[in-house]
Amino acid sequence: MIANKLIVTASPHVKSVDSTPRIMWTVAASLVPVIAASAFFFGISALLVIFAATLGALLTERLLGRPLSLRDGSAMITGLLLGLCLPPGIPMWMAFLGGAFGIGFGKVIWGGLGQNGFNPALIGRAFLQTAFPVAITTWPKPGGNFFALKGDLFAFPFMHPVSDVVTSATPLGLFKFEKLPTPLLDLVLGTTGGSVGETSAIIIILCGVFLAWKGYLNWRSPVSIVVTVFLLGGLLHLINPAKAPDALFMVFSGGLMLGAVYMATDMVTVPTTNKGRWVFGIGTGVLVVVIRVYGGLPEGVMYAILIMNAFTPLINNFTQPAVFGTRTLKEAK
């Protein structure tokens, strides 16, 4: 009998087919349509920005992260998502820096995959927003020649971008500062100014549905975010239409869809419990509306998610599942 080559393992001896790299790479692959859409609207600039951000993320993960950690695919997602939430005209050196910062301080220093408390892509983006507030709020107009650059993408590292590209405000900025509405169809299709990937809501929703169907993202936070924004936004709009835009505008504008589908679902930085995910989603939704309507900034998705990230361990703490039999044990006593 061939006993020598037997292995012994602890039970269970079998395992479901899903693995962490498989989940990560599928999510990364699901971003391809979003990237394609952004290339359609913003031309080669979008691809260059995404490339630079991803390069920054991957290089940093490779240099500072654990050995072979590039294989799990999470750094790829971070880079792509960061690229997708930057304006298409931002100098590439800034996008690269954002990727490096996000992975370095948002992930590696925490111990790598699974340990970080804040969304690395958003940490990178928040850093860029704070460091270069002007560059990151310069929104080029979509459309035009595919190869025409949307800004000074090749600005010399550490130097000002100099460019004279036609800029346009984002729908949210237009509403907040000029009180100008944007047609809903433009929002849904994505033919508006804004970040590389936050424009086309419809494509992002489709990708999200696909991932939820595969079981790779938990639908609870995205759904609760969208519903909360819709309801609260609608309520405020009813109270004061001049200050708060209508609910559908709220839902389809800005980075809400990208944030809800891809960032509020990063299991590492949102609560592990399902109840906690509802709380996270509702909290994020409320913050988005509050920042957009009452805050100084036109957009609030990034900050809302980061703030809720900070609350994640606390939410986890308060939403631990009720262990089987503990309720009846209490009743018995």
Partner 1 sequence: MISNLAWIFFSTLLINNFTLAMFLGLCAFFGVTTKIDTGWRLGAANTFVLVMTAVSVWFLNRFVLAEAPYLRTIAFIVVIASLVQIVEMIIKKFLPVLFRELGIYLPLITTNCAILALALFQTTRKYNLIEGIVFALGAGLGLTLALTLMASIRERLDVADIPAMAKRMGLVLIIASCMSMAFMGFAGMGSG
Partner 2 sequence: MIFQAILILGGTGLVFAIFIAVANKKFKVWEDPRIDVVAAMLPQANCGACGLPGCRAFAERAVEGTMEPAGCPVSNTDQIHSIAAFLGIEAGNAAKRVARLLCAGSTDVAKQRAEYRGLSTCAAATPVAGGGKGCAWGCLGLGDCAVSCDFDALHMSATGLPVVDVEKCTSCGDCVDACPKGLFVIQPLDHNLLVQCKNLVTGDSVLEACQVACTACGKCVLDAAEGLISVASGVAVIEYDLIADAEERAIERCPTGAIVWLQGAQFARLPALSSAEAA
Partner 3 sequence: MSGHSHHGAPPEPAAPSEQQDQTPAEGSSSARLLFTLGFFGALAGSLLAFTYQKTLPAIQKFAGEKVEVAVMEVLGAPPKLDTLYLIGDKLSRTPPAGVIPGDAIKLFIGIDAKGERMGVAVEEVAPGFASDVRLMVGFNPSTGALTGFKVLSQTETPGLGDKIEKDTAFASRFTGKIALPLKGTKSVTTDPSTVQTITGATISSKAVIKVINKAVETWKPRLEAFEKEGGK
Ligand X SMILES: Cc1cc2nc3c(=O)[nH]c(=O)nc-3n(C[C@H](O)[C@H](O)[C@H](O)COP(=O)(O)O)c2cc1C
Ligand Y SMILES: Cc1cc2nc3c(=O)[nH]c(=O)nc-3n(C[C@H](O)[C@H](O)[C@H](O)CO)c2cc1C
Residues near ligand Y (CB under 6 A) are: 23-24, 27, 74, 77-78, 81, 107, 113-114, 116, 119-121, 216-217, 262-263, 265-266, 268-269
Residue 306 near residue 106 (C-beta atoms within 8 A): no
Q: Which of 1, 2, 7, 322 binds partner 2 (CB under 8 A)?
A: 7
Task: Give the nearest distance from C-beta 113 to partner 1 in angstroms.
Answer: 10
For residues 292-331, which are near partner 1 according to CB under 8 A? 294-297, 300, 302-304, 306-307, 309-311, 313-314, 316-317
Does residue 133 touch ligand X according to CB under 6 A? yes
Does residue 195 touch ligand X according to CB under 6 A? no
Residue 140, classed as helix, strand or coil, is strand
List contacts with partner 3 (CB under 8 A).
133-134, 137, 177-178, 296
Does residue 137 touch ligand X according to CB under 6 A? yes
C-alpha 8, offset from chain centre: 42
Nearer to ligand X, 271 or 298 (CB): 298
* 84's tokens: 């997708």
Task: Give the nearest distance from C-beta 315 to ligand X in angstroms.
Answer: 26
Cα–Cα distance, 40 to 50 (Å, whole number): 14
Nearer to partner 2, 7 or 239 (CB): 7
Nearer to partner 3, 138 or 192 (CB): 138
Q: Which of 4, 9, 16, 130 binds ligand X (CB under 6 A)?
A: 130
Residue 80 near residue 50 (C-beta atoms within 8 A): yes
Which of 208, 220, 215, 209 lies closest to 279 in space, CA to CA?
A: 220
CA atoms within 13 A on the CB side of 209: 6
Nearer to partner 1, 84 or 128 (CB): 128
Helix-helix angle 20-30:32-42, to 10 degrees: 20
* 164's tokens: 């004279």
Which of 152, 151, 181, 155 lies closest to 169 in space, CA to CA?
A: 181
Does residue 2 touch partner 2 according to CB under 8 A? no
Contacted entry of partner 2, partner 1, partner 3, none for residue 300, CB cut-off 5 to 8 Å set by kind: partner 1
Q: Which of 123, 155, 226, 247 binds partner 1 (CB under 8 A)?
A: 123
Give 256-323 as a 3 state SS string.
HHHHHHHHCCCCCCCCCCHHHHHHHHHHHHHHHHHHHHHCCCCCCHHHHHHHHHHHHHHHHHHCCCCC
Residue 72 near residue 24 (C-beta atoms within 8 A): yes
Task: Give the nearest distance from C-beta 136 to partner 3 in angstroms.
Answer: 10
For residue 90, with 0-12 CB atoms within 10 Å meaning exposed, 13-18 middle and 19 or more buried, which class applies? buried
Q: Which residue is nearest to ligand X (CB)?
A: 133
What are the backbone dihedrals phi and psi of residue 140, each rounded to the nearest 5 degrees, phi first?
-75, 160
CB within 8 Å of 192: residues ≥ 6 apart? 142, 168, 170, 171, 182, 186, 199, 253
Does residue 332 touch partner 2 according to CB under 8 A? no
Choose the stretch contacting ligand X; rule: CB under 6 A; options: 147-155, 270-278, 292-300, 308-316.
292-300
Task: Give the nearest distance from C-beta 322 to partner 3 in angstroms.
Answer: 44
Task: Give the nearest distance from C-beta 146 to ligand Y in angstroms.
Answer: 28
Residue 114 near residue 69 (C-beta atoms within 8 A): no
Contacted entry of partner 2, ligand X, partner 3, none for residue 316, CB cut-off 5 to 8 Å set by kind: none
Which chain residues interact with ligand X by CB under 6 A? 129-130, 133, 137, 173, 177, 296-298
Which chain residues interact with partner 2 by CB under 8 A? 3-10
Which chain residues interact with partner 1 by CB under 8 A? 105-106, 108-112, 115, 117-118, 123, 126-127, 130, 176, 287, 290-291, 294-297, 300, 302-304, 306-307, 309-311, 313-314, 316-317
